[in-house]
Structures are given as C-alpha cells and as structure tokens.
Chain A
C-alpha cells in the first residue's frame, strides 16, 4: 500500500455532492502499483498504517475483498519483530503505531489466529510488547523503547489489547488517571499533562476512556462545546482554535462527538459537503482541503468521517476503534 500522495487533486465543487465510491476503490487498489515513484520508497515508514487506512476505507466503501487476504496477512506478519511488536515494513523497528495497525488489520480480516498458526507466539506475544510500553509510575505509554510518551500510544495500546482480549495485561486504572491528567479546563485534552488541547488528542483520550469504560469522567457538555466550536463557517472542522479546516478532522472531532453523544451538535450536512469537496471525483481519493493533493490518509479519515455522518452507500464505522462496526461486533461477540 503506497503512501504516495496524488496523482490526483481534490477537484470536488460544492455542486458535486456525490460520493464517488468506485473511484475511491480503484484509487486505493492502485496505490501499490506506484513503485516507480521515489515517494513510494520514501514513505515506507508508514506502509503498515497505510494498509490499515486503505483496508478500512475499502470495508467502509463496501468492498471488503478488494485487497487479497493472503497477501495482506503475509505482509502484516512479515513486519513482526522478535519482541512481538510490529514495524512499518519488513526490516523496520517495532513501534506502537504499527503494532496497533497490525492488530486492527488482522481483526478486520479475521486473521488473528494466524499469529498462533504461523508460530508467531500468538496474540500473547503481541500483547507483551504493548504492555511493556506502559510506564508503571504514571500509567502512560511510550511508542517504543526510546521513550517518547504521547496519549496516542496510550489509546493505541488500549485499542489493540481490547481487540485481542488482553486488556488485563496493563494497569488500566493508572492509564485512566494519566488521561485525566491531560484534561484542560476547556474540557478537551492534550498530548501530555500541561499541553494545549488538540482534537486528535481528544479522540485518543476519549477513545481510551471509552475502552476503559470510564466515559463518566468526561465533562461532556464542556468538551462537546469545545468540539462543536471546531466547525467553521465553510462546514469543515479545524483541529484547534483559529486554525484551518482539514478533512481528517471530520474523523477526529466527529468521532469524539459521537462517543459523548453530541454529534448532533454540529451541522452534519455542511460537514459532509466540505469533506465531499475534498475528493477527487475523477481519479478518486481525498485531500485535506478542496484543491489540494489527495492521499490515502485523508481518503481513509474522510470516508470514516462521512460514515459517521451516515452518508449513503457507506458501511457504519465504530467511533471508538475506527473500524467497521460489523467487525467490532464480530470481534467482541467471541
């Protein structure tokens, strides 16, 4: 799955409000055929994220089989390291970001068993890597052994461990109190205690609390107010006060609002219209803003945002996991 941006551009206009499902499917399927572009190689450090973005988008678009299942499993497993974690691509070091993507992909295509079957030490070994990233003092999580701490990694850890049924491997109450320590007076959350509120971090903090079953700790009205103020006149969301809108915030802000039952506090129609203007109606894919280059990251989060809004033709997305609702239901039915 290439992470190369372009070649298309978001040419959608306000009059073109159709979701070009087949164009997006083709766009994603063709991403891996772009090996003659330098950028394909320069973005290898995102490959496994890219597979998760592309695969999830295809599921939401109603084309779950558009990527070959066996090849996907082979690729995911080829990224696993000795310590149980996953790197972005074969030869890349293990990191939380890719380990979470690996788990999400395997769950989506119902292939977690392969970790056992193919002698990878099963899901337990993946769980050990994730659990080893927790700081026992304050409950936070690092991304890898080099120590960067960020609420993104805490969310990722809880996301993957809960999907694997291994949440008991970590200290959940401590993780929860760490998230609380990142809350600001505006009801929103930052990357670490003391950091400015940011929509991406709101998603990770609220998502982590949702997985931990502690949404009671969220000041819903206060946070809902802050999140709803992210919508600007043109309909799109920005990530922080006085910043430009971006299609991917349709997901970060929208899913956070959905988790606290406040998605109706914004104008969904106008938001959907903004996101649809970010698509390339000819070659497929979404960009951050109308007129800019498309890429698979914005394609995935744009589509996930539209799914939250109930746009016709899309499968329902789960606001906590950013995976198809049907997949989450199947996973937790076990």
Chain B
C-alpha cells in the first residue's frame, strides 16, 4: 500500500506463466491463512500452530491479527509451563521467549518501520518482566539495548528505533537500583554524543540529548552552579557545531537551548534559576557569537532567525523592546524576506505583529 520510496518501473503485461505463478502464490498464502485461523478457532495452541503462524508472519509481518494469535498461542504455552516446578517453569518460559525474540530479528531487519513487529516485541519483553525472576528478565532487556543500537546504526533516524531505545532504557532503570539508573543515563548521554559525532544533522540524537541532560541533572541533584556549567558546555558545543550554519538540526537544538533564557519556559530547562541580568548577559553574548557566524554565510537564513529570536528574548527578559533592538530586528527581517521567499507571509505577519518600542 503506502509505497514509500519505491522507484517507478514500467508496468509490463504478465505472461500466462507469470500469472499462473502469481495465482499459485495467492492460493498458498490464502490456504495458510485459512489453516491458521481454523487452528485458532479450535484453540489448538500447539507447536505446529505456532510454526504456521511464524510462516504466515514471515510472508506478511503487517498482519496484526496474526501477531495477536501468536500472543494467545504463546500465553497458552506459558501457562502450560507454569504447571511445572519453579525452576523448570522459569527455564521453559525463558526458552520460549528467547526463541521468539530470535524469530523477530530477521523480520525487524527487513521491515524496520513495521509498527506491529516492534509492538509485539515490547509485549514479549513485558511478558518476560511479569513471568520471570528479575535477574532473568533484566538480561533480556539488556540484550535489547544492543539490538536497538545496531538498528540505529543501520538507520540513525528510525523513529521506531529511537522510541524503542527510550522504552528499553526506561524499563532497565525501573529494573535496576537508583545508582544503576543514574549510570545508565550517563551512558545514554555518551551514546547520544557519539551518534551526534557520527552525523551532526541527526536531529533525533540531538533531541535525545535534550531529554538526557534534564534527567542527568535531576538524578545528580545538581546545584545551580553545576547546571550553569552544563549550560556553558552545551553552548560551547553548539557553537563549534555551527561551523556549518546551514544545518537546520543544529539550529533547532540552539533554539531549544535558548529556552533557558525565556522567562516563560526556563522552569522546564536545565538552568531554571538564572537571574534576569544573567539571562541578559548570556543573550548578548549569544547575539554577538551568532553575528560572527554571518561572516561568509550572509545568505544563511537560520542565522537571521536566531538573531531575531535572541533579540526578542532580550526584550522579554528586559520587559521592553529598545529602539535600537527593534531597528536591528527590522534590518535582519529584511534580509530574511529576501532569503526565505517560501515563508514570505510568515515574515510579513511577524513584521506586522512586532511590538512597538
């Protein structure tokens, strides 16, 4: 259906043999489908049924109802295992879950954007959490971190991959001690850093970084000074990265950092307790640093946008817009109107609503 990124080809009329082959494939697929639904209707939750389900899902991993069948069949096998002694039961259930996790790997590889496979995997791991001793289920969840690391190496912007990573980390934190949780946040921070290092345009990694910083500071009960230290490091980092000012991802991270100086948003940022004069000082430094970036990049619209944004923040902190700042904004705005014709009306609206001195 939604064929994303499938290049065109010239449709050719099928030969009679090809048509016959296609019909044969349909026949096989539908027979298998019928067989599986009959087995489910008869509540035959056997190894044979599970095998047929695997076969069907390998042919069509989008078939969500069959993933539900698989859950039912597996739950049945779990409860069978629970009849045994605790040790045997644990081993049997762990074995079933392990096999199933292995079954999913090639499917995830071939269909990394299929919601249903990811969902099923999460369900399976949650079953492990509920049915198995902590040490065993934790092992499973730890393996996931490696897996999702591999997936994100293959496609560093995969939406599912990043969401899955957050979920795995969150769960591992819940399964560990507070100290282990804190060390995980630190490791994740390093991970995000490496991903950014590999590709500065990876906004998913930048986004993750913003969330991790807040967690890190929270877990360390960081003082205002330490928070300020973190802020200084981040500003230094983004200024170094902005050596390429044409990358939108970097500017979104920059915009995010600027929220620290916005009195309305500061409370939810890494440095919530800066004084007004500190905020103004930071913003003035920022404006100066960004203006330097214009040298040789006068055609880069993001620079003007950031300059305007910072200057507006100055007025927000100061409680008024000075004549000088207003004139500055208008001159940057005229550059923007030249450089950014796609968003012409946005800049006209902006000009109209710019407060008077």
Listed in ascending order, the chain A residues whose CB lies under 8 Å from chain B are 3-11, 36-38, 41-46, 50, 87-88, 91-93, 95, 144, 146-148, 184-186, 191-192, 194-198, 224-226, 228-229, 231, 233, 235, 240-244, 246, 248, 262, 264-267, 270, 287-289, 291-298
Contacts and interface: CB of A to CB of B under 8 A. Distances in A.
Contacts of A11: 8
A228 B1 contact: no
Contacts of A297: 1-2
Contacts of B9: 9, 293
**Centre residue among A36, A231, A248 by max chain B CB count within 10 A:** A36
Given A8-B11, A196-B159, A243-B157, A92 B256 contact: no
Describe A's contact surface by its main secondary structure.
loop
B1 A288 contact: no
Counting chain A CB atoms within 10 Å of each CB, the highest count among B162, B166, B211, B342 belongs to: B342
Nearest to B71: A146
Given A146-B68, A225-B346, A287-B3, A38 B8 contact: no
A263 to B, nearest CB: 9
Nearest to B120: A146
Interface in B290-347: 341-346
A45 B341 CA distance: 43
Q: Interface centre among B159, B210, B255, by most A CB within 10 Å? A: B159
12 contacts: A11-B8, A38-B26, A42-B62, A46-B62, A50-B1, A93-B65, A146-B68, A148-B119, A229-B343, A231-B343, A248-B2, A265-B345
Interface string B249-274: 10010011001000001001000000
Contacts of A267: 341-344
B22 A38 contact: yes
A50 B2 CA distance: 10
Contact of B1 (A92, A186, A196, A296): A296
A5 B26 contact: no
B249 A242 contact: yes
A26 B221 CA distance: 64
Contact of B252 (A91, A186, A270, A289): A186
Interface in B4-38: 4-9, 11, 19, 22-23, 25-26, 29-30, 33, 37
Contacts of B201: 242
A92 B5 contact: no
Given A146-B119, A185-B259, A196-B159, A241 B4 contact: no
A184 B7 CA distance: 35
A186 B68 contact: no
A41 B4 contact: no
A87 B64 CA distance: 10
Q: 3 tightest A-B contacts by CB?
A: A9-B8, A3-B1, A5-B3
Contacts of A41: 26, 29-30, 33
Given A5-B2, A186-B256, 20 more contacts: A4-B1, A5-B1, A8-B11, A38-B26, A45-B62, A50-B1, A93-B64, A93-B68, A146-B71, A195-B162, A229-B248, A235-B342, A240-B203, A242-B247, A243-B157, A265-B343, A265-B345, A291-B8, A293-B8, A294-B3
B123 interface: yes
B178 interface: no
Contacts of B64: 45, 88, 92-93, 95
A270 B252 CA distance: 24
